[in-house]
């Protein structure tokens, strides 16, 4: 029996080349007037923390970023960041940047090899979930309960990786009878 390779956080982060991260940064404008916490450092920091730690907080991210291990692995120039700066950067960074990285990874045969090494099971799942938060925190959402806004997401997974996500915005879509068929139809349209 062949021994499977053990993948480190650095190996997995290395699947996304720095050149691609720099190109996406230019394309999305994610690093416009940013000196220390560039998009690629935020991406690497988050992925490294997710793969290396059980839990994440701003202070944990700060300590990881300042660590010699992270600095040496990813050749970051700045050692003096604070959790407050991380918080501000996370509030202002464009999600489009991470979406493009995600799309690159989804289509990468290297990722498939890592995740499904010698497992050739083709499965698909479609599911929805509802999130309810105070209406003070959300501007958009459905009015399901007074003082609260409800968001409903639909997700399509192929082999455990999300490939399609829908945010349902209409009140009628709170019902599974109205929401799930939309995901199923989109899935069928993609396959044809």
Assigned domain for 1 exists: no
**Assigned token pair, 52:** 């290396």
The rounded distance, in Å, linking the Cα atoms of 117 and 133 is 39
Average pLDDT, the chain: 80
| Shared domain check, 136 and 89 | no
Assigned domain for 3 exists: no
Assigned domain for 174 exists: yes
Q: How many folded domains does the chain comprise?
A: 2
Asked whether residue 144 carries a pLDDT value surpassing 80, the answer given is no
| Shared domain check, 24 and 72 | yes
Q: Which domain holds residue 180?
A: 124-191
Q: What percent of the chain has pLDDT over 70?
A: 88
Q: Which is nearest to 150 in space by CA: 166, 134, 172, 136?
A: 134
Read off the pLDDT band of 23 (50, 70, 90).
very high
| Shared domain check, 130 and 104 | no
Say if strands 124-134 and 148-158 run parallel, antiparallel, or are unpaired: antiparallel
**DSSP symbols for 77-146:** S-----HHHHHHHHHHS-HHHHHHHHHHHHT-HHHHHHHTTT-----EEEEEEEEEEETTT-SSSB-SST
Assigned domain for 182 exists: yes
| Shared domain check, 92 and 23 | yes
Classify residue 129 as exposed, middle or buried by CB count within 10 Å of its CB (0-12, 13-18, 19+). exposed
- Tell me the residue ranges of DSSP E strands in the chain: 124-134, 148-158, 161-168
Return the minimum-mean-pLDDT range out of 25-29, 141-145, 147-151.
141-145
Assigned domain for 4 exists: no
List pLDDT tens digits, range 80-127: 788 888 888 888 888 899 999 988 888 887 776 666 665 555 667 888
pLDDT of residue 150: 83
Separation of first and last alpha carbons in the chain: 39
List pLDDT tens digits, range 29-67: 988 887 788 888 889 888 888 888 778 888 988 888 888
Assigned domain for 170 exists: yes
Backbone angles phi, psi at 117, to 5 degrees: -50, 115
Asked whether residue 171 carries a pLDDT value surpassing 60, the answer given is yes
pLDDT of residue 1: 46
Asked whether residue 3 carries a pLDDT value surpassing 60, the answer given is no
| Shared domain check, 144 and 100 | no
């Amino acid at each position: 029996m062949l021994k499977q390779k053990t993948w480190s956080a650095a190996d997995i982060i290395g699947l996304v080349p720095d050149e691609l991260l720099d190109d996406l940064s230019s394309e999305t404008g994610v690093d416009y007037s940013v000196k220390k916490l560039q998009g690629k450092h935020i991406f690497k920091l988050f992925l490294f923390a997710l793969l290396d730690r059980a839990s994440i907080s701003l202070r944990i991210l700060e300590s990881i970023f300042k660590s010699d291990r992270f600095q040496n692995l990813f050749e970051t120039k700045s050692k003096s960041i604070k959790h407050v700066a991380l918080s501000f950067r996370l509030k202002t960074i464009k999600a489009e940047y991470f979406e493009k990285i995600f799309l690159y990874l989804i289509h990468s045969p290297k990722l498939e090899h890592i995740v499904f090494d010698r497992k050739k099971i083709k499965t698909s799942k479609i599911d929805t979930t509802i999130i309810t938060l105070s209406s003070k925190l959300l501007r958009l959402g459905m009015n399901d309960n007074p003082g609260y806004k409800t968001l409903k997401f639909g997700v399509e997974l192929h082999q455990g990786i999300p490939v399609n996500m829908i945010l349902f915005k209409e009140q009628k879509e709170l019902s599974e009878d109205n929401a799930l068929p939309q995901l199923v139809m989109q899935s069928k349209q993609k396959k044809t």
